[in-house]
Amino acid sequence: MDVKIEPSWKSQLSAEWNKDYFVKLTDFVRAEYRTKTIFPPAKSIFAAFDACPFEAVKVVILGQDPYHDYGQANGLCFSVNPGVAVPRSLVNIFKEIHDDTGAPIPFDGDLSRWARQGVLLLNATLTVEAHKAGSHQGRGWEEFTDEVIARLSADRQGLVFILWGAYAAKKGAVIDRSKHLVLTSPHPSPLSASRGFFGNHHFSRANDYLKQQGKEPIIW
């Protein structure tokens, strides 16, 4: 199967493309885009990978579903395009960055600037039907993104994995803690941010670790 994804990822994940689960997933997703309103735009399904090649990854932030309202999802977890209202979870992320590092709060929610620095903004499920959160869960995306995490854990050294919420923490169980830094806390959602997301210092801790590894820190 010819999957349109950044070349280094295409090579790293080549064993997945013809597995039964991925063939079924592809058939399902194509049919959904033909008959329903699905986010993100089809050309942006693999945007997180296209923006951050395999060897360029320094940090992985794991989300769950793409945003499911019009104009929001752009293929990078937690991110929205310039001009789109910043979602509440991302408002809380920016607040923690400001409190943690002193960085100014951005004018928009476009996180592609992080991706270009080596932050893989990975959702566990890469597509969703409009206004139906979780509608594409259990169709195969989770198996695919599990393999992404496993491949990064096995074949790279000294990465930072940022896992917010119980779902992300469970999905990150495969990560080799002897080779990588794994940071966990409650989710930045307004429902849980005050229970330990605020004050987690994940952004400064990530940068401290990257510097210890001889890597450039992220300009958050």
Helix (H, G, I), strand (E, B) or coil at 13: coil
Query: Which tokens belong to 15?
Result: 């064993």
> Which residue in 20, 27, 65, 208 is the catalytic one?
65
Distances (CA, A) of 138 to 25, 44, 205: 10, 20, 33
Is residue 201 within 8 A of residue 95, CB to CB? The reply is no
Query: Which tokens belong to 41?
Result: 């735009």
Using CA atoms, how far apart are residues 61 and 83, in angstroms rounded to an integer? Answer: 23
DSSP 8-state symbol, 132: B
Helix-then-strand count for the chain, H and E: 8, 6
Q: Letter for the amino acid at 10? A: K
Catalytic annotation on 65? yes
ω into 87 cis (within 30 of 0): no
Using CA atoms, how far apart are residues 65 and 63, in angstroms rounded to an integer? Answer: 6
Using CA atoms, how far apart are residues 121 and 51, in angstroms rounded to an integer? Answer: 9
Residue (of 6, 78, 81) closest to 41 by Cα position: 81
Catalytic residues: 65
